[in-house]
């Protein structure tokens, strides 16, 4: 199990990019992803998505959304704080 690294921003736990100071925009990038979407065909021939699933087989990175700095060390914290 990975140790959860908590950022030291203010308030405690707020992620701050050490390269550009960004505190608002972040990007999660997953490699080798399989997305499966299930559809129902309607009587008029159109389709409506019913359900989907996502499987990640590769590395997941967490990046600053402004300068692109690698903040992956905070990814577990990001997941814990995503509501």
Count of Cβ atoms closer than 10 Å to residue 64 Cβ: 21
pLDDT score, position 44: 97
pLDDT score, position 13: 77
Spatial distance between the Cα atoms of 60 and 57, rounded to a whole number of angstroms: 9
pTM for the predicted model, two decimal places: 0.73
Closest of 26, 29, 30, 4 to residue 15, by C-alpha:
26
Structural domain for 65, as ranges: 1-83
pLDDT score, position 2: 58
Query: In the chain, how many domains are there?
Result: 1
Within the chain, how many helices (H) and strands (E) appear? 1, 4
Count of Cβ atoms closer than 10 Å to residue 74 Cβ: 21
Residues of the chain with confidence (pLDDT) below 70:
1-6, 8-12
What is the residue-averaged pLDDT of the chain? Answer: 91
Query: Which three-class secondary structure state does DSSP give residue 77?
Result: helix
């Amino acid at each position: 199990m990975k140790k959860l690294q908590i950022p030291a921003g203010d308030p405690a736990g707020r992620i701050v990019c050490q390269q550009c100071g960004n505190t608002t925009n972040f990007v999660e990038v997953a490699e080798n992803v399989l997305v499966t979407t299930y559809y129902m065909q309607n009587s008029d021939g159109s389709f409506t998505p019913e359900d989907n699933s996502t499987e990640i087989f590769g590395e997941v990175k967490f990046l600053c959304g402004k300068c692109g700095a690698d903040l992956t060390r905070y990814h577990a914290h990001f997941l814990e704080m995503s509501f």
